[in-house]
Amino acid sequence: MNPAKPLRIGLTARLMHKPPAELGFPGKRLQYIEQSIAHWVMRQGALAFMVPSIEAGDTLVRRDVSVRRYVEALDGLILQGGADVSPISYGETALRPEWEGDRVRDLYETELIWEFLIQGKPIMGICRGCQLINVAFGGSLYQDIATQLPDVQRHVDATLYDRLDHAITFAEDGWLQHIYQGLPQGWVNSIHHQSIRRLGNDLAIEALAEDGVVEAISKKGEGFLVGVQWHPEFHPVGSALLDGGPLLAAFLAAANKTRR
């Protein structure tokens, strides 16, 4: 990486459609990023930029700015975690109202995924981002692990939040195992109640939990497109949890290789 010109990494925004009254934005939508993921990217010398959604509305007209222009200005994309992927996005209806997800965000992030792919720039999905990559490639999700896979271990605990963890096993000779220098498995946090059901087209499974739940995927063939179900930005440096450093370093190396 050229230290005189840091990489510019886009982070997709979380959308808050109805902010609580105490925030003081009645009737407005907020777009934001969580601090840990920005600092995780910046830790290896890259610059982090939030990429706002640009759907028409209010004072913005789509012809004034395009996704293509945003992608041209950036070197890579990270899809951060957050709200559920809407079942509508993979041809289903929500089994419960609380699982309806964020269809607006799905559309915004899917458009970014395809434009980054067209321009040959790397993409990494974290938690929800991993799930959305799978859906963008024609896959589907379990809307709720505990309901639809009742025999598997817990993958989310509201009380423990990022302190819930479990083991994962890397696919033998897979990309993830390669960047972790042949390590057969690791420990990761678990903060998701949805997971990959039908694998998307041209995707490969990179890691599984001990109960068979998909924990990481990648795109087959050329280009860099990876999704992990855990939050590497929440793994403390030097802890027993899988070091997120090699994952980020591989992503930034790909961004450096394809930068223009």
pLDDT in tens, the chain (260 residues): 445 689 999 999 999 999 999 999 998 889 999 999 999 999 999 999 999 987 645 554 556 678 999 999 999 999 999 999 999 999 999 999 999 999 999 999 999 999 999 999 999 999 999 999 999 999 999 999 999 999 999 999 999 999 999 999 999 999 999 999 999 999 999 999 999 999 999 999 999 999 999 999 999 999 999 999 999 999 999 999 999 999 999 999 999 999 87
130 assigned to active site = no
pLDDT of residue 260: 75
CB neighbours of residue 86 within 10 Å: 22
Name the superfamily (CATH) of residues 8-258: Class I glutamine amidotransferase (GATase) domain (3.40.50.880)
Candidates 192, 193, 231, 235; catalytic one: 231
With CA atoms as reference, report the closest residue to 202 among 117, 137, 135. Answer: 137
pTM assigned to the model:
0.94
Candidates 193, 215, 233, 235; catalytic one: 233
With CA atoms as reference, report the closest residue to 77 among 175, 1, 8. Answer: 8
166 assigned to active site = no
Candidates 127, 206, 215, 235; catalytic one: 127
